[in-house]
Structure 1
Amino acid sequence: MSAPLSHLVPSRSAKKARFDAESIYPILDEALFCTISYSIDNKPFSIPTSFVRYEDKIYIHGSVGSHFIRQIATGIPVCITVMLVDSLVVAKSAFSHSVNYRSVVIFATAEVVEDYDQKLASFEWLTNKVVPNSWEYLRPVKPGEVKKTTALAFSLEEASLKARSGMPNDEEEDLGLPIWSGLIPLSNKRLTPVSDELSENIPLPAHLQHL
């Protein structure tokens, strides 16, 4: 069993919050993208990017020339957010509408991955997360490509989860109204791959046939 993560007390909807790794890790493993927010010279920035979790850290990659990467690589505090939406909650009143969701908020500072093998491994983890089982199929990464890319790791020590599930919570006086209420499920999934012109005569590889 994984160790509990540090507690962060939410200012609102605290009853929806959880702080254990068993709740947080599955959300981070399912989500493909996060948003990294930070402040430089009292100016706010918020950048979406792909990420991968491995053990008790998440990893992102970017060009060594990226202004965003260079800024957060200095170790400034960042806030990383992830959200998965499962369904729209339709109540009998617009003010009772809601969303069933799972979200994670992480407060951390970046750790630059210097070790070449760990850096390359983090590329493999992210590649296989975005396109499962594709790393071995692809042309091997060149050392020069690794050199041109910065890998950053973020601890999950200060992470918290908030989530909602279930049906609408209508006001008691609205329960008898002849207005439909319930859930509209949402789905985000990989669909059938579409070949580009150079791949029209190349068979779809096995790892893309059952996404």
Structure 2
Amino acid sequence: MTPTSRTKLTRLPKRGAHDTATIYPILDEGLVCHVSYILNGQPFMIPIAYCRIGDVVYIHGSVGSHFLRELAKGIDVCLAVTLMDGLVLARSAFHHSVNYRSVILFGKTRLVTDDAEAWDVLKQITEHLIPGRWEDTRQPNDSEMKKTMVLAIDIEEASAKVRTGNVNDDPEDADLPHWAGVVPLTIQPQTPIQDPSQNPEITVPNYVTGYKRN
């Protein structure tokens, strides 16, 4: 993607990227995005689950949502996804940092009115959150579909920014008596907790016990 003034990185540009080979895997690993827009001079933002299909990011929610009703008008939005990979603890407080992978993208919203597209989006959002789940559920009925709004955000332009590696202390601080290094961070699933009202003979599926992010 060719950067413009909206996506060109000015602070530490060496950490930036504009190619889909960098951007799309970050979007595909994230679980929640933050969507923001301006209405009458007032900024709004909401965290929401999503999925990516090709060059489009999709979100969904209640038809009664004020936020989604505004997005359904076809407006310009900014969407952000951030993955935290580690806490970088330098000897000096000034050089503390984090290892991360992030994406900022811009696009215009579009209300999905095609039933087949909406159905596929709901399936893909479910599968994005936990692969294997869609076929192991009661899928939405007509009433539930009517209560659900699906929105598309065509990716017009985007940039990624990534920080990896260890500390970057000043040379004169190298011998200070303070521990320095990286505390890695990952999404770590815990032991599944079964619904107490469920038949105990129903076993936990493999896609739950083996759950992990990419």
Question: Residue by residue, what CA displacement relative to the aligned partner does 1:90-109 show, whole Å, maximum 9, x if unpaired?
Answer: 00100110000000001111
Q: Is the 8 A contact 1:78 1:108 kept in 2?
A: yes
Q: What residue in structure 2 maps to residue 6 of structure 1?
A: 2
Q: What residue in structure 1 maps to residue 210 of structure 2?
A: 210
Question: Residue by residue, what CA displacement relative to the aligned partner does 1:64-100 show, whole Å, maximum 9, x if unpaired?
Answer: 1110000111122211111001000000100110000
**AA paired with 1:41?**
N
**AA paired with 2:172?**
E
Q: What residue in structure 2 maps to residue 196 of structure 1?
A: 195
Please report how far the alpha carbon of residue 142 of structure 1 lies from its aligned counterpart in structure 2 after TM superposition. 0.6
Matched residues in 2 for 1:97 and 1:18: separation? 23
Secondary structure of 2:159's partner? strand
Matched residues in 1 for 2:44 and 2:199: separation? 41
Uncovered stretches (5+) of structure 1, i.e. residues with no partner = none
Secondary structure of 1:198's partner? coil
Matched residues in 2 for 1:25 and 1:126: separation? 15
Q: What residue in structure 1 maps to residue 104 of structure 2?
A: 105
The number of equivalent residue pairs is: 207
Runs of 4+ in structure 1 over 6 Å off: none
- Give the 5 Å matches for 1:42-191: 42-191=41-190
Please report how far the alpha carbon of residue 185 of structure 1 lies from its aligned counterpart in structure 2 after TM superposition. 0.7
Normalising to structure 2: TM-score of the pair?
0.92
Please report how far the alpha carbon of residue 176 of structure 1 lies from its aligned counterpart in structure 2 after TM superposition. 2.2
Uncovered stretches (5+) of structure 2, i.e. residues with no partner = none
RMSD of aligned residue pairs (Cα, Å): 1.3
Please report how far the alpha carbon of residue 17 of structure 1 lies from its aligned counterpart in structure 2 after TM superposition. 0.7
Matched residues in 2 for 1:93 and 1:22: separation? 35
Change (3 A) 1:57 1:208: same
Secondary structure of 1:197's partner? coil
Question: Residue by residue, what CA displacement relative to the aligned partner does 1:31-78 show, whole Å, maximum 9, x if unpaired?
Answer: 000001111111111110011111111110011111000011112221
Q: Is the 8 A contact 1:113 1:152 kept in 2?
A: yes
Q: Which moved more, 1:139-148 or 1:122-131?
A: 139-148
Matched residues in 2 for 1:152 and 1:72: separation? 8
Secondary structure of 1:177's partner? coil
**Amino-acid identity (%):** 43
Please report how far the alpha carbon of residue 134 of structure 1 lies from its aligned counterpart in structure 2 after TM superposition. 0.8
Q: Is the 8 A contact 1:34 1:81 kept in 2?
A: yes
